[in-house]
């Protein structure tokens, strides 16, 4: 892709921001997203995590935890509990991959080339998020198919299911800004992945993703109540089931998504501008 493809009709400033209009910015995002998609086409192995992890996680947790929680031979009941939780976990795992990918692009000099072009700095990062949201959609579809194959039941309407999927995508997109910021701040992809795992593991297992929280110690149960992954998983379960409290967990999840994006997105763009 040549530099001319990304050139805006307006006269650019030195940092690529400011005078670039919305239409030109959207065109840059589209061109950069297309570049990222072409990279996936040239390296299809990069989709293995999206294609295989939903299958592995569904089978593993269903047959490891399902019998203990729902009773031996009654794993189908656990699947209906598990799948909405795994939707929340998918977003976090894919978000972590975004951070390592950004770090690797800087190490290869790809990002340095982008920063010499007359494009908005934010368009480079937004284009990467757009493509990763597409990967999340693929992972979610595979996850739902696995759930149906293992006996998952959904009592909610199609709109309820779509709402749960969109909620998971929105929250996952907000998490990507956190991991992009980590990718820009850390020196190596291994460092990004190591720190990300330290953050991810307590959030995933200290939540209602895999098991009900009623049997947890009081201090841990208190943590799960403020854990945004628990709110996302509970909101998705209630939407899938067509009953239960929906408004509160949905609003809390959306509030988390907005707050995370408002705080971390400007920091990530600023770090992208200044990183050498």
Nearest to 89 by CA among 214, 215, 205: 205
**Structure-block tokens of residue 12:** 């650019």
Domain ranges for the chain: 20-33+44-274
114-143, pLDDT tens digit by residue?
767 777 778 888 989 999 999 999 999 999
User: What is the model's pTM?
Assistant: 0.84
**Which stretches within 150-246 are classed as H helix?**
158-185, 189-205, 218-226, 228-241
Would you tell me the crossing angle of helices 75-108 and 121-149 to the nearest 10 degrees? Answer: 160
37-56, pLDDT tens digit by residue?
888 888 888 788 888 999 99
5-23, pLDDT tens digit by residue?
444 444 444 444 456 677 7
């Amino acid at each position: 892709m040549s530099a001319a493809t990304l050139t805006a009709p307006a006269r650019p400033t030195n940092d690529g921001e400011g005078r670039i209009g919305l239409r030109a910015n959207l065109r840059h995002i589209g061109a950069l997203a297309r570049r990222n998609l072409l990279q996936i086409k040239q390296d299809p192995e990069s989709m293995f995590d999206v294609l295989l992890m939903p299958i592995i996680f569904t089978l593993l947790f269903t047959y490891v935890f399902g019998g203990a929680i729902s009773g031996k031979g009654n794993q189908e009941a656990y699947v209906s509990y598990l799948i909405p939780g795994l939707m929340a976990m998918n977003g976090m795992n894919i978000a972590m991959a975004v951070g390592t990918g950004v770090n690797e692009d800087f190490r290869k000099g790809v990002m340095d080339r982008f920063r010499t072009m007359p494009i908005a700095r934010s368009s480079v990062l937004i284009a990467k998020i757009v493509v990763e949201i597409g990967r999340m959609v693929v992972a979610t579809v595979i996850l739902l198919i696995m759930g149906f194959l293992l006996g998952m039941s959904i009592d909610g309407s199609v709109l309820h299911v779509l709402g749960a999927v969109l909620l998971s995508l929105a929250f996952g997109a907000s998490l990507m800004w956190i991991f992009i910021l980590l990718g820009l701040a850390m020196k190596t992809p291994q460092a990004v992945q190591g720190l990300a795992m330290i953050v991810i593991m307590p959030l995933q297992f200290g939540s209602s993703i895999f098991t009900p929280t009623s049997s947890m110690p009081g201090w841990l149960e208190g943590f799960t109540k403020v854990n945004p992954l628990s709110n996302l998983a509970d909101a998705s379960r209630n939407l899938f089931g067509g009953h239960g409290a929906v408004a509160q967990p949905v609003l809390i999840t959306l509030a988390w998504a907005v707050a995370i994006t408002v705080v971390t997105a400007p920091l990530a763009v600023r770090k992208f501008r200044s990183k050498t």
